[in-house]
Structure 1
Amino acid sequence: MSFRVFSCAVCGRPFYEYDDPNPKTWLKNFRILFSGPNGVSVSGVGQHNELFLGYFSAHWEYTTRWDNPNTGALDGPIGVLTQSPISNRHGFLFHEACWSLLEKIYQPKPIPWSRLYDVCKSMPLSKRGAVNISWGHDYGGLLLSDNESFYPWQRRVFNMSVDRKLRLSASMDPMCGSNIEQLLHEQPQGIPFMDKDHPTAQVKRSVDVFSRLPPEIRDIIAYSLSVRDAANLRLASRSFFSVFANQQFWASRFSPDSDRSWLFELWNKRGYKAWRWLYRRTDDACLSPALRNRKRVWKLLEHLRDIVDLQWKENSQASISHVDIPGLKYRKITADVRLETPSDTRHYFDEGCRLLRQQNVTIPPQLSQVAVSTVQVGDIDYVSGMRFVSSEGTVTEFGYWSGKKIYSTDVTSLEGFNVATGTRGIQAIQILDEKEHTSQWLGSRDECPKTRYLVVSKPIRTIEAGFDACKMISLAVEYEDLGPIDRSIEQTKSLRDVGYWYPEVPGRDLYLNEYSNVVDTCYPDEHRPLCWISFGGPGGIYLKYVKGMTITFRGDILRCVEFIYEGIDIPIRNRRVGRRALRGYDKVFYFPIDGPGGEIIDAVEVMLANVDENEVHDSFRNPVLKAFRVLTNRGRRHLQPPLSFVYDELKVIKIAPGTTITGFYVGQHPSLGLTSLGVISEVVKR
């Protein structure tokens, strides 16, 4: 039996409020979206009465309720979230109120149960505190993210917000509509506003092209805009100056998919006259706690609907070989894909993504355009699908499409991709043609690792894309093998060209000195980002300001290396590698360096040790970094940490002759800390 506390897939609140004296509180009522012997179903409404009761039992028939005496005994428990399936049934929890709001959003259409289940299944689980689906957002401010301990693409551990006002509103039933009736009976307060017939609202037709449109057409245009866009339009065109005096404009704010769509009781309200006042009255600062929670949950549901409503483009064509064969070669990059096993309980699926679908597509011989569709999942935009358009106009689409966010570029040939990818999926793609000209990035490239591994500089014949339920999570290419010269290039390919680099791929003027365990632990078909800093700055311009370096350990785990400067403010991305939030039990070691006096680091030794694979639940490569020693040009050396420990291997990192160490690059694991260390050097003018 599990003794964890579980949360709603939508609102993030647990299914029990221990200090709530009401035994029928909305927080206890639930539905389960589950997969069973008969496919995907939704349970009836059950009630969870004990904080640490491990199982959720309900009637399996959707129309039933726990408090209906005519429905008989409950059908039995269903495994949820991190639990194992029970009677081949496993699913995800929703508050009854949150599910009812989702039905309102989809009204008059039904909720696509199977699609919703697949989307939930694609998301990792957060187990910090109550177990919930880790969408990558903060549940509308309810949770706080730890951005100090993790890079943006890694899992961000969430803690409960300390905002009492927000936590109070989040405990209120979002389906409660009594506050809305009270609002409608309040006496509207006058809002001074210029009347339509005011002289300054008159339009000179010679200076405003919109004045030629009939008023009804101008109204339709205004109704389709947000309030902010309508305000900007008023500034640009005096024909729309009086739109804010139009009560029908404000009434349109309360329609589905508009600013106040979460007030669904007002969608078909007739006879009401004070819409502009009501819009002001339902501003965030004026809302009751229950309506504030309604708005929070509604926005989360709209975000979820955008993901669920993605359309799958079935367009699988030629097969692709997963190994090199005569005449063809194969390369693949991937997000942090976690394989699902028959006995998988999802207990260890706390980061990364699931592979649910694959497609193989033949590249048209004569290209004219490449486009990608993107979808926002949590706080990040991901590539969800791709489209190739031939010069004859033939369109090949695959993956998931919504039509809301599309990036495109004109190309005539395809010989490679630069790819930006986090642990949960591919975020952006850049196209390279036969002359290695690069397109703009298609998607959101910021704050995630990039790789050049799919830049093949040969005609790409076929691509294979892997997907979860909403986004692309892997991309492979099959291209022509042009003979012995091409194979020799493959064998000498640099870590620069095969690794996943953050924040950018290092430039060609930087030497990576590939003699450490970084090379041993870097495999292109595994998502193992390399994070690097240039503590010496371009051409070593910061070296004379270096005052020292600090190394942070948590127990025997190396977490972070940071350089200290004197007389200059250096950006964090140049001076710190590794993420860490300092805890009281962390140990920080300091090594002074006399940069102003000309002292520099001129050698690095790394100590490596094998780690028991049972200590972590995702794949990694042994040995891993345990400590390192720096040596300076003054003969000083410092071991990090300065204490005795056991290691299995010592490596001395050799740098290119005539160069100076100006940077570090590391591999980082959420549990093991910094797992590898390499040095960057460059030619520095003295």
Structure 2
Amino acid sequence: MWLDDFRAVYTREKQWTSARLSGVGIICHSGDASVTVPLEADQRHDDAGLDPSAVMDLRLFKSSFSDKNEFSWATPQPFWGFPFHETCWILLAILHKPQEFEAQALHGLFRSLPHVSVGLLSFGHNYGGIMKYLPKPEEHIPGEEYEIYRRYGRRRYYPQDPKRDPMEYSDPLNISSLQEIFQQNLKGQGEFHEKNNADKATMTNDTPLRVSNPTDCFQIFPTEISDCILMFLPSKDVLNVKLASATFAALPLTKTFWASRFQRGFEFHCVFESHGLQTKDYDWESIYFGVRSLQDNYNFKNRRRIWKLLLLVEELHGRLISAELQGTASYSFFEPDAPEDKRSWNLASGVLNEPEIDFSDGCRSLFTRTVDITFKVTGVFVTFARFNGMEYVSGLRFQQHNGVSSSLGYVVLNEEIEMDVDGSLLSKDGCGISGFYLAINSRGVRAISLILSSGKVSKWFGKHDGIPKTRLFLNHGDVISLKAGFDAFKMVALGSLGDDFTPTGLSDLRDHARWLPDLPNESLSLNVSSLPLRTRRPPTKYEPLTMVLYGGLHGAHLSKLTEISVWMGEYMEILGIYFTYSTEVDGHKVHTFGRRWPSGRDERNRVPCDCFGTGDCSLDDCPRDKRVDFPIDGPQGEIINRVDLHNDIDGAFMGFRINTSFNRTATFPQKLVDDYPDEYPLLPVETAKLTTITGFYAILSSSQAMRCLGVISEYIRKDDYRGAIPEARRKAKRTLSMTQTE
């Protein structure tokens, strides 16, 4: 079966730069950690007289490079690599003709991707629909990243599972129906009888002629120009333009147009049988509708699915072989011969996986580069690399006053973007770069913004909405020193000179945590003393802190708050907090912090119950979740003036209590405190003096309880109090008066 034959891009032990393409081997069991495969690309496992010395035992998907044996029960294998179905490799070669793929580039690409399951690398997509996303899209929380997993427990493709789509088993390379279509429509070989006449009528030259419209601007174009316009349009837009314009409605679709549907960028580019054929020799209109009639053919569906995935590989391969890594090489596990840089660095990064551990999520730094910029910077340029439809920062270039450029990473001059295009930021005397704002997900740097010594900030470059953010300040002095980590195509870490994090230091949580939706405003106090130490440390996992300013900046919305609701799970874990307002705030009267109160059935087919977990429910399938609603009289000046937390002995968040300025309290969950008053004591959060509580921050998840809870407060000026939060104003005045008396 076609699914058994495979090739691999492989290397031996720690020969990182010596990757090769293997011959064709065979996989008998999908769970095998090692397989036997010929060493040379022109050999097959079933070649007659194949010399046993010409084959190797190959370790698949190796991602941990510890000196210890990865599997105690297995014999260590010197050869390791990443497999490709032979059929997919043939399709990839056809796609990339006449060039050949470089095994070294592909090996570097695959080393840059997490290994998430047996036989799977995580490209960020769901393999054309045959894998599932976790969490489900309807349960997704902003900033949360999707993981993929198999739809079915059975890993092997056969014996065929009736629950699986037969497309997955179907050979995408040899499709007899396609060959028949081309044979039947070769000029002089007869006519192909279309089945989808209704579809054809909407696209062919039989479109009714419309009355000339003097407002139709396309009337002035020569026919040749109109033909060219149609050839560049996607097929669905061709129909739309024919409906919108009488000129195009009357224009016949030429043989060249129909042939263009099989070119790169159009719907049937995957029909490689059409590549290189002469337009004049075939009835391309009939071929188009003949191929279109194969939409439900399992083999053709699989061809289209795989072709789209291979286009992503080809795009990345093109970047890998065209962009050279720039900067001064620094010692790392994968470059042991580079000189060691012993300076201390502050790094902002994705979720970096060290070489000694299993690479199952996040990113891995394969190369480390540094740059020292000695002259005043007059221009900054950023280069991006595309990966699965997303853009990542791949390199930075700094233009200096003396005309010299210093580059860091994969810089492509004809693709880079200038970050100060009008010269309004860096051209002024004495204005330099003091740092960066960075949008970073688990896989690397998605967007960047300049922080200037004048206090100005540039706009964002790259995708930053919904991406966790942090900031990186540069070292003071005449020389700007930067260090960055890279995988095979993108930046995964960026750092500046500085001291390592110390728990007792004065480092700001803004500088090493990742924040959603944005970094907290400088006017906000984060009151970090109440947080467990592990939350205050630089993150080692993808755990961004999500912030909600329920009171708004400067307390603008405190007077609108009318209710706080808390959703607790079956085991009293905090799942979500909801803030209800008297009027709409940013387009909504209810704002959700954490998981949403479910509107449908859960994973055990249970519906949310109106009992809210009160214990009075008689339903057998009640999920036993509990929602507690606590009214807040914001219009009359009631505010939260104290928050008490209860954490377990390891610092894990268990619950909290809010206290209001009207001497009312609410505890979530109350039962935990009632049953275990000594084990889970409530401890007050120490907020900055003269500040008012206006928000919270936490680590959120769609599949787990809320982890940690931080309190945000802000000093609100007298002018901000007027008419908005009278009680808060009175409280601040009383506090200020007491302070002055003391």
- Whether the TM-score (by the shorter chain) exceeds 0.5 is yes
Provide the C-alpha distance between the structure 2 equivalents of 1:242 and 1:395, rounded to a whole number of angstroms.
56
Residue 664 in 1 paired to residue 696 in 2?
yes
Contact 2:144 2:701 in 1 (8 A): no
Q: Is the 8 A contact 1:34 1:42 kept in 2?
A: yes
Task: Supply the AA of the counterpart residue of 2:454.
Answer: K
Going from structure 1 to structure 2, the CA distance change for 1:670 and 1:42 (only over 3 Å counts) comes to farther
User: Quick one: which of 133, 140, 156 aligns to 2:147?
Assistant: 156
Other-structure match for 2:642 = 603
The answer on 1:652 being equivalent to 2:722 is no
CA distance in 2, matches of 1:262, 1:303: 13
Closer/same/farther in 2, CA of residues 157 and 264 from structure 1, 3 Å limit: closer
How do 1:89-488 and structure 2 match up within 5 A? 89-127=79-117, 130-147=118-135, 148=139, 152-160=143-151, 167-184=165-182, 185=184, 186-187=192-193, 191=201, 193=204, 211=222, 215=224, 223=231, 226-227=234-235, 245-256=253-264, 258-270=266-278, 271-283=280-292, 286-310=295-319, 311-317=322-328, 323=343, 331-341=346-356, 344=357, 346=358, 349-363=359-373, 365-378=375-388, 380-390=390-400, 395-400=405-410, 406-409=416-419, 410=421, 411=423, 412=426, 413-454=432-473, 461-478=480-497
Q: Which runs of 5+ in 2 are unaligned?
A: 63-69, 154-160, 185-191, 331-339, 427-431, 607-622, 717-723, 727-742
Q: Of the two, which has the highest radius of gyration? A: 2
Distance in 2, Cα, partners of 1:207 & 1:578 = 52
Q: Which amino acid aligns with 1:79?
A: R
Moved more, 98-107 or 57-66: 57-66
Name the CA distance, whole Å, in 1 between partners of 2:204 and 2:293.
22
Which residue, out of 527, 532, 550, partners 2:547?
532
1:88 is matched with 78
The answer to whether residue 599 in structure 2 is matched with residue 591 in structure 1 is no
Using the TM superposition, give the Cα deviation of residue 663 of structure 1 relative to its aligned residue in structure 2, in angstroms: 2.2
3-state SS in 1 of match to 2:110:
helix
Percent identity over the alignment is: 24
Letter in 2 for 1:505: L
Q: Where do 1:3-82 residues align within 5 Å? A: 25-36=1-12, 39-50=18-29, 55-73=34-52, 75-81=55-61
Contact 1:318–1:362 (CA under 8 A) maintained in structure 2: no
Aligned-residue offset at 1:583: 5.1
Deviation at 1:70, TM superposition (A): 3.0
* Residue 616 of structure 2: aligned partner: none
- Distance 1:437-1:638 versus aligned 2 partners, 3 A rule: same
One-letter identity of the residue aligned with 1:167: D
User: Is this contact kept in 1: 2:131–2:148, CA < 8 A?
Assistant: no
2:525 to 511, 529, 541: 511
State how far apart, in whole Å, the 2-side matches of 1:30 and 1:207 are: 52
Alpha-carbon distance in structure 1 between the residues aligned to 2:589 and 2:4: 45
Please say if residues 372 and 387 of structure 1, whose CA atoms lie closer than 8 Å, have aligned partners that are also in contact: yes
Distance 1:658 1:591, change over 3 A: farther
| 2:334 equivalent in structure 1 | none
Deviation per CA, 1:662-682, whole angstroms, max 9, x where unpaired? 322123589985442211234
Alignment of 1:544-559 (within 5 A): 544-552=561-569, 558=573
Match of 2:654 among 604, 624, 627: 627
Q: Which amino acid aligns with 2:178?
A: I
Q: Secondary structure at the match of 1:445?
A: coil
Q: Which amino acid aligns with 1:351?
A: D
In the TM superposition, what is the alpha-carbon distance from 1:235 to its structure 2 partner?
Answer: 9.8
Shift in Å at residue 560 of structure 1?
2.7
In structure 2, do the counterparts of structure 1 residues 109 and 572 end up closer, same or farther at CA, with 3 Å as the change threshold? farther
CA distance in 2, matches of 1:253, 1:293: 19
Q: Is the 8 A contact 2:170 2:299 kept in 1?
A: yes
Amino acid at match of 1:32: A
Please give the root-mean-square deviation of Cα atoms over the aligned residues, in Å. Answer: 4.5
Give the Cα–Cα distance (whole angstroms) in 1 for the partners of residues 574 and 252 of structure 2. Answer: 56
Tell me which amino acid in the other structure corresponds to 1:105.
Answer: L
What do the CA deviations read for 1:255-301 (whole angstroms, capped 9, x no partner)? 34554221111001234443244335544983522111111111111
Decide whether the 8 Å contact of 1:419 with 1:451 is kept in 2: yes
Any idea what the Cα deviations from partners look like across 1:460-514, whole Å, max 9, x if unmatched? 72322211112111112359x9xxxxxxxx9766434553211111224433223
Q: Does 1:521 align with 2:530?
A: no
Cα distance change, pair 515–491 in 1 and its aligned pair in 2 (3 A): closer
CA distance in 2, matches of 1:400, 1:386: 8
1:640 aligns with 2:669: yes
SS at match of 1:26: coil
Contact 1:532 1:577 (C-alpha < 8 Å) held by counterparts = no
Distance 2:20 2:231 in 1: 39
Instruction: Measure, in 1, the Cα distance between the counterparts of 2:144 and 2:709.
Output: 20
Equivalent position amino acid for 1:640 in 2: P
Structure 2 contact 326–410 (Cα < 8 Å) conserved: no
Q: Distance in 2 between matches of 1:406 and 1:381?
A: 13
SS of match in other structure, 1:278: helix
* Inter-CA distance 50–465: structure 2 relative to 1 (3 Å threshold): closer
TM-fit CA distance, 1:356: 0.6
Aligned match of 2:612: none
Task: State the distance in 2 between where 1:141 and 1:203 align.
Answer: 47
**CA distance in structure 2 between the partners assigned to 1:57 and 1:65 by the alignment:** 11
Distance 2:438 2:584 in 1: 32
Q: Would the aligned equivalents of 1:318 and 1:361 in 2 still touch at CA under 8 Å?
A: no
Q: Give the distance between the partners of 2:23 and 2:624, measured in 1 at CA.
A: 52
* AA in 2 matched with 1:592: D
Identify the residue that residue 739 of structure 2 maps to in structure 1: none
Secondary structure class of the residue paired with 1:593: strand
**CA distance 1:250–1:152, shift in 2 (3 Å):** farther
Q: Give the deviation of 1:654 after TM superposition.
A: 1.9
Which runs of 5 or more residues in structure 1 are unaligned? Answer: 1-24, 325-329, 482-489, 611-622
